Structure 1
């Protein structure tokens, strides 16, 4: 990979770190927000889910715009939306307004994340694509870990608003950096051919130390013949891709529902059970650090093993970790260790879906396919923190909730197993 390719992937990694930070800060700010605003657990579930709902809508309806207008302009527009959402969150006087502005922030995050996933897949070398995407996926727990590390000293000293001020500053820096350094997708330029496409392609090829083109290559026949051109949406939703699309939706949706339940509720649950806010923050940081390690382990294993094989094995192991966490919940030192393992496995599995999904779709529909997988998965995940809020408000023991969430992870593992029988995209096979 050339320096230019590494820079492109690194910018995407920086942005997904920002995403992890922007979403993660709410989990750490939630106990103080609940106390200051007098929010009940069921309403707090809506607060915690608000950004997830925005992310789902952004992934479904905004990400496909990247296949039409380009990866770079959509990413910059989403960063502007994130900055606006963070600024408005700081000013929110009520829980209702807080929920609204978290939805706005989530729209920006959702519209950007799947788009970045496609960009990393396109700028990574064939031999290291799965590994590069797994490393990229580590950015989310890295960002959430940074949020936890900052929350420890910042919230007690300056209150929860300080976390969102920090997030606004980081988002603004990311916007300026992306404006200067983030390239357009080469596959987008070759496929969609916007104005001045040949010159822009040759500029990118030069930075990659590749020979320039005298003319753009011939289009795929299916793109020239409207009768044969299914379009991006039809490609995602018709055989033989449809079965793989459904498997991605089911598997990813159930995984992220379990993931976001744990990541959004663990700090609050442990704080309420123990009476020690620091224990909740420590547990949240531990789970996110485990997530970072899980992505790097997945990336290392992907050098030698198929990403699809690794994915279903990781999901079944994650189900076991949720079950174990529920059984030893009251033994705090052991629970912290298992929580770390829980983070390793669930985030490693998310990295697996990010690595496998680009192999299912062609370049022209990749952002749409990945965006819909992430968006529909997030719609499912939105429900998880809300339902858990009602369950806890009804008096159910937290450990029983963790045991129950092992079931959807088993189903996700079965869905991932079915991907092994699916066709591979010849240009993007893992």
Structure 2
């Protein structure tokens, strides 16, 4: 293959433009698919506890307030992992951090099998959450970087569907496994799946092309050319000079400074507030609904059915968002989804005692809240440059999860005080409406980014 002088002088912007302006190659699709597989695993590992909680509560004699801490253990770990571990991806690369986090998930899941009390259960759920939190935002950045401009929002929305898919799979497995073998069987299955995911990722998951061109780690040229070759693009004879003025500026002031200084600061705050309040409502619904219905009706299977329905709705919500994002702005879709979700929470509280209708509305809750989460995942990468992208997304997810950690705990105390469960759904419509206002501010101005919205 002949390489012209003009080709060898291409800068990072030109190289990445060739990736983003063309059709997605098979290599790109495989990379996004691996990320989807990993976020399915994340959804499975977090979703396990919602379905195992009724039996764990019964066997360990855990009160509702303490159960709230158990349900929040992985969420707390995810928050800390997103804030403290995800930024390492902007220094060491997307691939190595993903592999390290998978190892942490394997360890956390395996040790959960040894838990004999609420305190040890919380500890190992935090460890598992650290791995999940450190990996999710990093994968979000990787999907954004390997997607074409035309399909980026759609690809990220489909990627976001992996989480409810994983939680749905957990529900389907819980129905036969927990009654037959007990809650430990679910965590054994989770450990095995995490090991399989680690092996596949070690073999097939590539490094980010954006990262290699921006950070220039050891052997970067050969690694870049291998990736370009797999995408049927011209190789480089040498690494081009960095021609993007924004890159130099970002490297000079650092990722955290980019996130926390104008003009990005306003968008960062909107992402933090909007995402945090959304996931607080989301995790309240997804962690407590199976237990609430099981306790109210005395039928554990009904609670599991409700949890499966909400997660299936989440899967549909991500795909609906992905389809609509082909024609409409992701920011506008996010804004509309959040206010619709607030209305659905109010409706669920009104018809809570009509079980058949409640299941249908629970499905709608899943559609709207998970679709909105997909919206935040799609919008966030467009706010930050490549040098700050993993850090920016990680902080959004991490700080959002810190807010969400409180939700299951607070609900535990509210229910322990004897408050009717349907009243809690009215309460959580308020943060969803505020989240919608934050999403509305994202529509008012857009920071220049290497990625299209």
Deviations 1:235-277 (A, max 9, x none): 0010000000000000000000000000000000000000000
TM-score computed with the length of structure 1 as normaliser: 0.99
Decide whether the 8 Å contact of 1:222 with 1:229 is kept in 2: no
Distance 1:258 1:151 in 2: 24
Query: Is 1:88 equivalent to 2:126 in the alignment?
Result: no
Distance 2:246 2:301 in 1: 58
Deviations 1:162-204 (A, max 9, x none): 0000000000000000000000000000011001111100100
Find the partner of 1:171 among 194, 200, 204.
194
Decide whether the 8 Å contact of 1:50 with 1:106 is kept in 2: yes
Q: Which residue of 2 aligns with 1:355?
A: 378
Q: Which residue of 2 aligns with 1:3?
A: 26
Decide whether the 8 Å contact of 1:45 with 1:388 is kept in 2: yes
Query: Is 1:303 equivalent to 2:302 in the alignment?
Result: no
Find the partner of 2:430 among 378, 396, 407.
407
Give 1:224 shift.
4.7
Distance 1:426 1:78 in 2: 28
Distance 1:222 1:27 in 2: 44
Q: Which runs of 5+ in 1 are unaligned?
A: none
TM-score computed with the length of structure 2 as normaliser: 0.94
Distance 1:12 1:417 in 2: 29
Find the partner of 2:153 among 123, 130, 134.
130
Distance 1:340 1:241 in 2: 36
- Alpha-carbon RMSD: 1.0
Distance 1:31 1:174 in 2: 28
Q: Which residue of 2 aligns with 1:230?
A: 253
The worse-fitting range, judged by mean Cα deviation, of 75-84 and 211-220 is: 211-220
Q: Which residue of 2 aligns with 1:67?
A: 90
Find the partner of 1:294 among 302, 317, 321.
317
Q: How does 1:337-348 map to 2 (within 5 A)?
A: 337-348=360-371
Q: Which residue of 1 aligns with 2:9?
A: none
Query: Is 1:364 equivalent to 2:387 in the alignment?
Result: yes
Decide whether the 8 Å contact of 1:52 with 1:382 is kept in 2: yes
Q: Which residue of 2 aligns with 1:318?
A: 341
Find the partner of 1:242 among 265, 276, 300.
265
Q: Which residue of 2 aligns with 1:158?
A: 181
Give 1:230 shift.
1.5
Q: Which runs of 5+ in 2 are unaligned?
A: 1-23
Q: Which residue of 2 aligns with 1:144?
A: 167
Q: Which residue of 2 aligns with 1:205?
A: 228
Distance 1:349 1:223 in 2: 30
Decide whether the 8 Å contact of 2:209 with 2:224 is kept in 1: yes
